[in-house]
Amino acid sequence: MARKEIEKFKSLLEKSHYTVALCGSGMMEEGGTPVIRDDERAYAIEQAYGVSPEYIFSSAYYNTRTEKFFEFYKKEILSARQKPTKSGNALARLEKEGKLDCIITGNIYEIAQQCGCRNVINLHGSIYKNWCPHCHKEYSLDYIMQAKTIPRCEHCHSVVRPLVSLFGEMVDSQVMTRATVEMEKAELLILLGTNMNSELFSNYIRYFDGKEIIIVHQRAHFLDKQADLVFIDEPQNVLSEVLEP
């Protein structure tokens, strides 16, 4: 990649008084976890379970076929949880250096937090947060994993609900508000592993009224022209260059 583009990236980071990063599915893919809507993985899921991933990971399926849902959830979602990645470590370093103020992500595996990032908004929740919707007792990920069938509350025997967004559910209103406020504060917006037309992020991007936009993703998109700087590459490669002295 051109050195002058990396230097421009560094310069924009230095000048910005408030920088927000949007971390999309491309960040999961470089960590070795394909999203369940990925064509190959979606096909494999439908072959194995007889239904599409959009249906099996929906609130309707959770409510009507709860045991089957947890069978899928533990085998396909929890077993795919990621370890810290190069990109996550790079973001943590930028945050520590005062060059990154907030991360907004759809990742449910808390990769950014595992790497040490502090101000992270998980739009789709987290596999590490589970609770009983009846008595509100909280449960660990291990509790879900160790349940032989449906995890139930020790006190009231209600089904323990993973606090992740299922297909067909709205993002929590408080989380949406927090993400919107962060977007309004941003001077510099960095899109990592996603694009301006993202189904997840596009509604938040419209609140951005800052100065510059940087996009880093592997697949060029026609809306890339709206950005001030574009890298067609894996985020981990570009961020590694940016962190070099």
**Torsional class of 172: left (φ above 0), alpha (ψ -120 to 50), beta (otherwise):** beta
The per-residue pLDDT for range 172-186, each reduced to its tens digit, is 999 999 999 999 999
Report which residue type is found at 191: L
The per-residue pLDDT for range 27-66, each reduced to its tens digit, is 988 877 778 888 889 999 999 999 999 999 999 999 999 9
The per-residue pLDDT for range 80-113, each reduced to its tens digit, is 887 889 999 999 999 999 999 999 999 999 999 9
The per-residue pLDDT for range 149-170, each reduced to its tens digit, is 999 999 999 999 999 999 989 9
Say yes or no to pLDDT of 1 above 70: no
Q: What is the mean pLDDT of the chain?
A: 95
The pLDDT > 90 percentage for the chain reads 89
Say yes or no to pLDDT of 68 above 70: yes
User: What's the confidence (pLDDT) of residue 84?
Assistant: 85
* Token code pair at residue 155: 């006190």
